[in-house]
Amino acid sequence: MPVADYELIRAWRQVFDLSKLASGQTVTLLTGATTHPQTLHCAIVAAQSLGAVVNRLDLPPVNAEKALSRDVFAYLGTTPLTGNQAAIAALKASDLVIDLMTLLFSPEQHEILRAGTRILLAVEPPEVLVRMLPTLEDKIRVMAAVDRLKAAREMHVRSAAGTDLSCRLGEFPVIGEYGFVDEPGRWDHWPSGFALTWPNEGQSNGRIVIDRGDILLPQKGYVDEPIGLTVENGYAVRIEGGLSAELLNDYMESFNDPEAYAIAHIGWGLQPRARWSTLGLYDREATIGMDARAFEGNFLFSLGPNNEAGGSRTTACHIDVPLRRCTVSLDGQDVVVRGKVAA
């Protein structure tokens, strides 16, 4: 169902309160060609009602000649901020940036965060934002998982479909996404709800089976037949299966970059209000698939860059794959059992 402005403004006020927005602080809304007009309008009203100084910075899209689709995750190269020192300065001078454009995987974003600016990404449709409105309970649940990940030195993932993957941990930071930005220099995404890290370089080995009903992103589709990935020393060295595997192979080959096949972030979903099934209810251009990434109990792994975690891999290809019905163990202790988060 569509969302009334009143409901979305109230949701924005809750997110701003959780993000510790105070009267007199500067909020800059970063917008682009795909920004949802209702989301923008309601964010402005909510921020002004709390006494914030509100600006809008609208930037043109880039990479159209390189990306294979309109999805913002289809090509992670230069961004509208690349070389744009005036825009970067405006964002660094802001207390809070609301990203309604999708700025990810860029040195410019890290520069802005280092200045102490908080950045919140919010690009899903209004009804998704309202349904997965973040709460303090979300933060508590996610940060408990973050603490477990920080203490672990190995993640083992297995499934009845044939997944049997081992990843050594500890080289990269652990990140929790809970939907608001309550600390200086923090980035988050509304909606979200998961804990993740990156495996040590070259220390992931085993097999991943993307089973029927699992999801590929940015393709934003359910797999209709299994895809097998053989992982050796941190890279998917073989992708095997039927048509779904061929389509994935062809997409990844288009980037002509061996780093695209590296195992990137790994973790699990913790958002009970996210649903595996909702992707089938939306046009592919209407959503970036955060339900799929965050639904409770999924094992979410990715292929591609690790520069968001301080690594040096900046490949333009990024694939997110949430798997169902996996068991995820940390140092031999199960945290997810056959797709259900352990108590």
Token look-up 């994935």 returns 248
Enter the pTM of the model: 0.96
Give the Cα separation of 285 and 290 in Å (integer): 13
One domain for residues 39 and 58: yes
Whole-number CA gyration radius for the chain: 19
One domain for residues 190 and 250: yes
Single out the residue in 131, 146, 167 at which a domain terminates: 131
One domain for residues 77 and 141: no
Domain that holds residue 62: 5-131
One domain for residues 102 and 174: no
Which CATH number characterizes residue 9's domain? 3.40.50.2300
Residue-level pLDDT at 22: 98
Q: Mind giving me the DSSP string for 163-217?
A: -EEEEE-SSS--EEE-S---STT-EEESS--EEEE-PPTT-EEEEEEE-TT-EEB
Give the Cα separation of 233 and 219 in Å (integer): 26
Q: Mind giving me the DSSP string for 8-76?
A: HHHHHHHHHHHTT--TT-EEEEEE-TT--HHHHHHHHHHHHHTT-EEEEEE-----TTT-SSS-TTS--
pLDDT tens-digit profile, the chain (343 residues): 799 999 999 999 999 999 999 999 999 999 999 999 999 999 999 999 999 999 999 999 888 888 888 887 787 778 899 999 999 999 999 999 999 999 887 889 999 999 999 999 999 999 999 999 999 999 999 999 999 999 999 999 999 999 999 999 999 999 999 999 999 999 999 999 999 999 999 999 999 999 999 999 999 999 999 999 999 999 999 999 999 999 999 999 999 999 999 999 999 999 999 999 999 999 988 999 999 999 999 999 999 998 888 888 889 999 999 999 999 999 999 999 999 999 7
Q: What is the DSSP letter of 79?
A: -
One domain for residues 126 and 228: no
One domain for residues 191 and 70: no
One domain for residues 148 and 285: yes
One domain for residues 150 and 269: yes
One domain for residues 15 and 117: yes
Residue-level pLDDT at 10: 98
Return all residues near 184 (Cβ < 8 A) that are at least 6 apart. 116, 117, 118
Q: What is the DSSP letter of 278?
A: G
Single out the residue in 75, 110, 131 at which a domain terminates: 131
Residue-level pLDDT at 181: 98
Closest CA to 108 of 173, 187, 193, 218: 187
Total domains in the fold of the chain: 2
Q: How big is the chain, counted in residues? A: 343
Give the Cα separation of 320 and 22 in Å (integer): 35
User: Which tokens go with 99?
Assistant: 């990203």
